[in-house]
Every structure is written in structure tokens, then in C-alpha cells.
Amino acid sequence: MKIAKTVASARAFCQKAARPVVLVPTMGALHHGHGALIKKARRLAGKDGAVAVSIFVNPTQFGPREDFSKYPRRWENDLAVCRSGGVDLLFAPAVGEMYAKDHSVFVDASSLSQHLCGAARPGHFRGVCSVVARLFLILQPDLAVFGEKDWQQLAIIRRMVRDLTFPVRIVGHPTIREADGLAVSSRNAYLLPAERQAAPGIHDALRRAARGATRAAILKEGRRLIGKIPGARLDYLELVEAETLEPAKNRVRPMRLAVAVFLGATRLIDNIAVSTRS
């Protein structure tokens, strides 16, 4: 596995690599959810292609009340996950490699970032789009794999690729869950024991609420069930069209029921597909 810490060395590797090059962008602190994305990338690349993983804690997607310095860094663990997944290139640049000191150009998804997490975290998706666009330009991947747990991020990246005509195919991977249904996330490590015990109720609430016959019924039941989770504080619960992230007004197009919940100081997100009706 090649470890590249400069833009020049990462770009050179990918220019010489056999195609396809499949990218898995991450911020590190890798867990078995990331491992599943890497395995998917390995299958897509085949025996002749190359898998690239980026590890970069991106400062531009952190808000003023979010502590960039406290984001977990687990380098040795990350190396082990990448090696076990058959990664060919690990790109781990410093901030100065990705952003000049006087950088002033950003990529923003104006419409899709107004809802859900974008409303609660202003500027977050501008940072996400800006760093992913840089990664696409540096590594020139043929495909990139993103998890469906961050559905809004996935939808925004797909829109960015479409609107800016990046020659990259975006592949979504189903949410990886613990045995009790909790979506795998680096943030789960911040949960206190009682919070961790309560956290699976989030996914259970989504599943049960999604059985409702109407949008109003789904949201009412979802809010009721979230309210019964000990210590839970609801940030948002929305039923949206899967592609546009606009509130779903009918059940003709694919939909996602998305939620953000605070358990103590930890903010957890999740979403599930909701069936359409003929």
C-alpha cells in the first residue's frame, strides 16, 4: 500500500494506476462501516484496478461550535483497516496540502444544503463539496463510494458531480448497522453507557413510523416514538424526496425518512427508505 502525504505524489500514483481507480473519501477514525465501503470499492476496482482511500480531517466543514481539534485521529488503526481491505493508495495530506493559506474558492450546493443537516450546520456542506471536488481533481477517480447513512451528503455529491460534469460515478453503499440496529458512526464512541443503550431506539422509531399511510401520520408517529427514547432531544425529523431533499408531498417518487437526534452532547443521524404508493 502506497502512503501519499502530498498532492503531487498522490496524483502521480493515480495517473500511473490501472483503471478503474475507485475512491473512498474519509476523515479517518475508520470503523467497520468504512471497512464495508472499502470492500465495495475493492470489488468495483476488480483485480486490476486501484482503490484509493483519503484520510483528511477537513477544517472547512466544521462549524464555529464544532471542535476540529477534538475530532478523533487513529492513525495506526486506520492503516490496519486500509491494509486489510486491500487499499492501494492511502492519501493523507496535511491541511496546507489541500488549502493555501489565502484560499478563497469554495464549491457550494445552494439548494440541497438548505434542508436537514444543512439547516442545523450552516456552511458544513460547502466544506464537504469543496474538499470532495479537490479530491476528485487531484486523484481523478473513475468511481467514488459514499455511505447512505449520510444521505444528504450523498445526494449533494451526486448533484455536484452532475452540475460540474465531473467524470466520476458515485456509488452509494447501504448503511452499516450494529446488531441492535444503531447506524455505525465514529460518534457512537462519545455515547455514555445509558445513551448507547437508548440509541437503537432511533432506528426502531424510523422503521415503525415509516408504516404510516400519510406524510402527517409518519411524522407524528416518528416524533412520538423519538420522544419516548430516554434522554433524546429531536433536532429534526423529515420525510423528503430522495433526490431533491424537498419535503415529500406525495408517495410517487423515492423518499427517505431522515432524523437527527441528540443523546446527551452527541448528535446522531439516520435515515431509511420509505416505500412509494401506486
Look at residues 77, 106, 107 and name the one whose alpha carbon lies nearest to residue 90: 77
- Alpha-helical segments (H) within 122-179: 124-139, 151-164
Look at residues 151, 142, 154, 61 and name the one whose alpha carbon lies nearest to residue 106: 61
Cell numbers at 278, concatenated = 401506486
Q: How many CA atoms lie within 13 A of 218 on its CB side?
A: 26
Whole-Å CA distances, 264 to 24, 65, 94, 97, 182: 30, 16, 32, 36, 16
Dihedral over Cα of 218, 148, 204, 28: its sign: negative
Contacts of 145 (CB under 8 A, 6+ apart): 22, 23, 24, 37, 40, 41, 44, 171, 172, 173
- Residue of 31, 34, 103, 173 marked active site: 34
Quote the longest CA-to-CA distance of the chain: 55
- What span, in angstroms and rounded, lies between the C-alpha atoms of 38 and 43? 9
- What span, in angstroms and rounded, lies between the C-alpha atoms of 259 and 261? 7
Peptide bond into 20 cis (omega under 30): yes
34 included as an active-site residue: yes
Catalytic residue positions, numbered: 34
